[in-house]
Amino acid sequence: MPNIYKFNIGSDFVLKAVTGIEDFMESSEASSIRIALSGGSSPIAVYEKLAASQKIDWSRIEIYQVDERSDHSNEEMIREALIAKLSDLKAFHPFDKNYEKKIQALPRPFFHLVLLGLGEDGHTASIFPHSSAVEEIEALTLKTESPTGVKERITLSFPAILSSEKIIFLIRGAGKKEILSRWLSDEGSEMEIPAKVILDHPDVDVYYDYSQS
């Protein structure tokens, strides 16, 4: 079971999530730390606060993307909230046509840390309920379709995401209470709630802010 941290004050959520990420990075002995970042709205304030962290040595850090929309809005958000504010980042690897090969060439586990979100329908990354992407076991990246919002997506597959030392979920919104409890219960299948696949990973932390609507 993941470690669950719940907050009813937004600033506490941001502070604790940032501290958790800083602690992980500080304790890592890797010379190059590879982290994969999700899009969506929940992580924005965390990325902004991370950009101001005095504890992170960004020259050791390589940032990858978990998923992207056809309008490139995830890359845009990650650049604006975090990357544009860093002067010494080792590298940023946005989704491009060589992304699958780039991931394939990484040592395993591919990532040291993956940051994920949770949708009200149980999706995570851009892997949506009742789609073949939930069961993908070979490809590292996949084209998928979102039932809502920007339709065309590209995403790391579950095998790529699970190849990470640690996984942290950043989840905000009172409206996600129900899916959060269904996700963590024995109820429902992986096809219905794709984020359940991540529960197979041994080191998952969940930060949940239920203060906002």
Stretch that binds ligand 6PG, among 3-11, 17-25, 36-44, 197-205 (CB under 6 A): 36-44
Q: How far is the CB of 26 from ligand 6PG (least distance, A)?
A: 25
Q: How far is the CB of 123 from ligand 6PG (least distance, A)?
A: 6
CA distances from 166 to 71, 139, 146, 213 (A): 29, 21, 26, 28
Query: H/E element holding 210?
Result: none
Size of the site for ligand 6PG (CB under 6 A): 16
Give the bridge partners for 153, in sequence order: 69, 144
Query: Can you tell me whether residue 105 is helix, strand or coil?
Result: coil
Which of residues 7, 18, 36, 42 is near ligand 6PG by CB under 6 A? Answer: 42
Tokens 């995401």 belong to residue: 161
Based on CB atoms, which residue is closest to ligand 6PG, 34 or 123? 123
Residue ranges in 72-131 that form contacts with ligand 6PG under rule CB under 6 A: 74, 117-119, 123-126
Q: How far apart are CA 36 and CA 66, in angstroms?
A: 5
Which of residues 67, 165, 190, 205 is near ligand 6PG by CB under 6 A? Answer: 67
Residue type, 182: R
**DSSP classification of residue 25:** H
Q: How far is the CB of 32 from ligand 6PG (least distance, A)?
A: 24
141 binds ligand 6PG (CB under 6 A): no
The closest residue (CB) to ligand 6PG is 117
Burial class (CB in 10 A: 0-12, 13-18, 19+), 72: middle
* C-beta of residue 194 within 8 angstroms of C-beta of residue 157: no
Q: How far is the CB of 88 from ligand 6PG (least distance, A)?
A: 26
41 binds ligand 6PG (CB under 6 A): yes
Residues lying near ligand 6PG in the complex (CB under 6 A) are found at: 38-42, 66-67, 69, 74, 117-119, 123-126
